[in-house]
């Protein structure tokens, strides 16, 4: 069900404006428009290795930890000295060569990221709330803000307080209070969390298995063309939406695509978008052919059920979906669900070989490393953006 894998609603909205390109007046013509663009490979008896549905003790403990963190309390400490990893609230006025360039009051700062400039955070350590201090920051010659590059800034800072967050222990009292009596013991709430984790694991495994068999079919299919003008129109709409976002954020396109997508070149980003839509087109072609072959085109009831599930996933009302998806979009995605269920029902489960298990483990470790690196980069990017 949670099959829509667009890069956020921005790209989904752009795609929704072009999926009807070249379509005829009827549902059948809509699918024929894609089906004529290729030849599908064998889709009955596809072999696949089922995704794991295991919920580990670590998963459960992580969920418990998150629950406790969600119920944390924060207090304002005004008596102890600032430490290196504190969250502090300050007022400051920044001047360069005697001219004010920035000022903030009631500004919350997480130390350790040098959000306001290299060396800024260390100069707060050791002072108590109520202190008024002067901090000097030297900007590098290649600093992103060219008006400050190579300059020395002087910050007049007042430390207001230190935010101290306390994470409560996992107790019956916490569970009872946080759930307003719906659960009264940690055992009951742990059972609930475990059930939720299992439902999520099963849903994710279902989606992964469906995608696995669909990709196997795509890999043995051939594609002779894509619906006329659809790829270029899609790319244009994505860029139009991004430019609109840039206007609202007050930043340029290059900055936007770097912060949100990680691309340093607009041309590379355009190639990525083009490859993305071609991948989507391949799915649409294969799904359309199978849907027509097996009489799996979504009924009105199928579409209504899909819309409700999609709205639930996004946490919005069904009526709001029209802002992101066309009627043809939703008809196709509901049809795709029928096709995925059909392929999976007729697929053959196989056990992973030792080599495949080793590759999966390595891939998972690489993914973890990549995610950690991306988290670090996102933190740095956020700090740089706030610094600007």
**Residues 79, 47 share a domain:** no
**Which CATH number goes with the domain that contains 302?**
1.10.3120.10
d(CA 161, CA 106): 10
Which of 212-240 are b and which e, b meaning 16 or more Cβ less than 10 Å from the residue's Cβ?
A: bbbebbbeebeeeebbeebbebbbebbbe
d(CA 291, CA 35): 9
Residue range 292-320: mean pLDDT, rounded: 95
Q: Which of 23-27, 245-249, 287-291 has the highest mean pLDDT?
A: 287-291
d(CA 344, CA 4): 18
Structure confidence at residue 48 as a pLDDT band (50, 70, 90):
very high
Tell me what pLDDT residue 353 has: 65
Tell me what pLDDT residue 321 has: 93
CA angle 211, 216, 218 (to 5 degrees): 90
pTM above 0.75, yes or no: no
Cα distances from 291 to residues 38, 47, 277, in angstroms, run 14, 20, 20
**Residues 119, 43 share a domain:** no
Percent of the chain scoring above 90 in pLDDT: 65
Residue 203 lies in a domain: yes
Residue 219 lies in a domain: yes
d(CA 155, CA 120): 9
pLDDT tens for 209-229 read 999 999 999 999 999 988 767
**Which CATH number goes with the domain that contains 155?**
3.10.50.40
Residue 367 lies in a domain: no
Tell me what pLDDT residue 233 has: 85
Structure confidence at residue 363 as a pLDDT band (50, 70, 90):
low
- Coil vs helix vs strand at 26: coil
Give the count of domains, the chain.
2
**Residues 383, 270 share a domain:** yes
pLDDT tens for 152-164 read 999 999 999 999 9
| Domain final residue, candidates 109, 131, 166 | 166
d(CA 339, CA 298): 9
d(CA 68, CA 174): 8
**Residues 294, 193 share a domain:** yes
Tell me what pLDDT residue 354 has: 61
What is the secondary structure of 140-197 as a DSSP string? PTT-SSTTTTT-EEEEEEEEEEEEEEEPPP--HHHHHHHTTTS--SHHHHHHHHHHHH
| Domain final residue, candidates 166, 201, 235 | 166
**Residues 194, 112 share a domain:** no
pLDDT tens for 59-80 read 999 999 999 999 999 999 999 9
**Residues 305, 195 share a domain:** yes
Give the structural domain span for 280.
Answer: 8-57+188-349+378-387
Residue 339 lies in a domain: yes
d(CA 7, CA 26): 29
Residue 369 lies in a domain: no
**Residues 202, 99 share a domain:** no
| Cα first-last separation, the chain | 41
The DSSP 8-state label assigned to residue 351 in this structure reads P
d(CA 1, CA 14): 21
Query: For residue 230, is pLDDT > 50?
Result: yes
Q: Among 236, 227, 103, which residue's Cα sits nearest to residue 157?
A: 103
**Residues 150, 90 share a domain:** yes
Query: For residue 93, is pLDDT > 80?
Result: yes
What is the secondary structure of 42-87 as a DSSP string? --SS-EEPPPP----HHHHHHHHHHHHHHT-EEEEE-SSPP-TT-E
Q: Which of 211-225, 240-254, 317-331, 348-362 has the highest mean pLDDT?
A: 211-225
| Domain final residue, candidates 111, 134, 166 | 166
Structure confidence at residue 259 as a pLDDT band (50, 70, 90):
confident
Residue 256 lies in a domain: yes
pLDDT tens for 130-156 read 999 999 999 999 888 888 899 999 999
Give residue 181's region: left, alpha or beta (phi > 0; psi -120 to 50): left
Query: For residue 362, is pLDDT > 70?
Result: no
């Amino acid at each position: 069900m949670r099959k829509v894998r667009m890069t956020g609603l921005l790209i989904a909205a752009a795609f929704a404006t072009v999926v009807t390109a070249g379509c005829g007046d009827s549902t059948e013509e809509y699918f024929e428009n894609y089906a004529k663009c290729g030849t599908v490979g064998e889709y009955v008896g596809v072999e696949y290795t089922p995704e794991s549905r295991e919920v580990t003790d670590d998963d459960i403990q992580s969920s418990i930890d998150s629950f406790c963190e969600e119920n944390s309390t924060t207090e304002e400490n005004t008596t102890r000295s600032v430490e290196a990893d504190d969250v502090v609230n300050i007022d400051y006025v920044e001047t360069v060569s005697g001219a004010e360039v920035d000022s903030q009051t009631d500004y919350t700062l997480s130390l350790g990221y040098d959000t306001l400039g290299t060396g800024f955070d260390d100069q707060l350590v050791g002072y108590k709330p109520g202190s008024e201090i002067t901090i000097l920051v030297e900007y590098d010659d290649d600093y992103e803000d060219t008006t400050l590059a190579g300059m020395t800034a002087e910050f007049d800072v007042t430390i207001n307080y230190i935010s101290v967050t306390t994470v409560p222990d996992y107790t019956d009292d916490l569970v009872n209070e946080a759930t307003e009596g719906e659960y009264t013991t940690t055992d009951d709430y742990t059972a609930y969390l475990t059930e939720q984790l299992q439902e999520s694991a099963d849903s994710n495994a279902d989606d992964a298995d469906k995608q696995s068999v669909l990709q196997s079919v795509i890999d043995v299919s051939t594609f002779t063309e894509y619906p006329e003008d659809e790829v270029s129109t899609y790319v244009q709409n994505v860029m139009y939406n991004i430019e609109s976002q840039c206007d609202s954020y007050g930043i340029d396109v290059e900055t936007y695509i770097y912060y949100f997508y990680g691309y340093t070149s607009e041309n590379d980003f355009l190639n990525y978008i083009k490859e993305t839509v071609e991948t989507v087109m391949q799915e649409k072609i294969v799904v359309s052919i199978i849907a027509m072959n097996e009489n799996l085109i979504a009924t009105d009831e199928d579409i209504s059920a899909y819309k409700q599930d999609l709205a639930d996933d996004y946490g919005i009302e069904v009526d709001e979906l029209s802002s992101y998806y066309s009627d043809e979009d939703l008809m196709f995605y509901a049809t795709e669900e029928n096709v995925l269920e059909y392929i999976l029902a007729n697929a053959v489960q196989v056990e992973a070989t030792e080599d495949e298990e080793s590759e999966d483990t390595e891939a998972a470790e690489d993914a973890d490393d990549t995610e950690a690196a991306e988290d670090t980069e996102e933190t740095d990017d956020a700090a740089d953006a706030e610094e600007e």
